[in-house]
Structure 1
Amino acid sequence: MVVLYLIEPTDAGLIAALRAEGLPAPDAGRYFSADHHGAVVGYVGLEGEGRDLLVRSLVVLADRKARGLGARVLAAAEIIAGDMGGARLHLLTTAAEPFFARHGYRAANRQTAPEAIRRTREFAGLCPASAAYLTKDL
């Protein structure tokens, strides 16, 4: 089982993991370290309030990949999102669309994203227009 722990966006491990994957530095939202059997195996962020939340920068550490941990981190993030009052998750990705599709995320038109999601820094400028926009109802 993977357990998520709330961390500061200035956490050195988080920043290093995002940098190693070429992902944007954390800016807004809540970030979590993912713990599996007492060791940090990755990180994930959730941004927003209310029913619509943006999944930010899910990453599994390089030495922990290919063990099914990404799916476990995602499942744990979805539980926390539900606990936060989220009903729909949104994300942008340039490289992981097949992974998220296997876990129930579906392609959507960026123009249909809720205003609060479109205003996020990631949505408005960090991710290129070519990034896939995916959503999932919780």
Structure 2
Amino acid sequence: MVSLHLVDSTDVDLIAALRGENLPEPGAGRYFSADHYGAVIGYVGLEGERRDLLLRSLVVLADQKARGLGSRVLAAAETTAGDLGAARLHLLTTTAERFFTGRGFVAADRESAPPAIRQTREFADLCPASAVYLTKDL
């Protein structure tokens, strides 16, 4: 089982993990360490409030990859998002479309994103126009 624990966005291990995967450094939102049997195996962020949350920077540490843990981290993030009152997750990706669509996310037109999601720094500035926009109802 994977559990999530809130970490500060300045956490050096979080920043190193994101840099290692060429992902944007933490900004607004909540960031979590993903723990599996007491060991940190990755990180994930959730940005926004209310019904729509942006899934940010899901990463599994290099020495933990290819063990199915990414799916477990995602499931824990979805549960946490639901606990925070979200009804839908949104994300942008340039490299992991297949991973997310295989877990129920569907491609959508970026223009269809709710204003609160479009106004996030990741959506407006950090992710290129070529990034795929995906959503999933919780």
TM bracket, shorter-chain basis: over 0.9
Q: Output the amino acid matched with 1:88.
A: R
> Separation in 2 of the partners of 1:30 and 1:84?
11
- 1:8 maps to 8
Output the TM-score relative to the length of structure 2.
Answer: 1.00
Give SS of 2:17's match: helix
- 1:43 maps to 43
Shift of residue 40, structure 1, vs aligned partner: 0.3
Residue 28 (structure 1) aligned with residue 34 (structure 2) = no
> Separation in 1 of the partners of 2:29 and 2:23?
15
The 5-angstrom pairing of residues 34-113 of structure 1 reads: 34-113=34-113
Give SS of 2:122's match: helix
Output the TM-score relative to the length of structure 1.
Answer: 1.00
Q: Output the amino acid matched with 1:77.
A: A
> Separation in 2 of the partners of 1:48 and 1:54?
6
Q: Output the amino acid matched with 1:37.
A: Y
Runs of 5+ unmatched residues, structure 2 = none
**Identical aligned pairs, as a percentage?**
75
Q: Output the amino acid matched with 2:11.
A: D
Give SS of 1:117's match: helix
> Separation in 2 of the partners of 1:39 and 1:69?
12
Per-residue CA deviation, residues 69-105 of structure 1 (Å, 9 max, x unaligned), is 0000000000000000000000000000000001000
Aligned length: 138
RMSD of aligned alpha carbons: 0.3
Runs of 4+ deviating beyond 4 Å = none
> Separation in 2 of the partners of 1:13 and 1:25?
11
> Separation in 2 of the partners of 1:38 and 1:85?
27
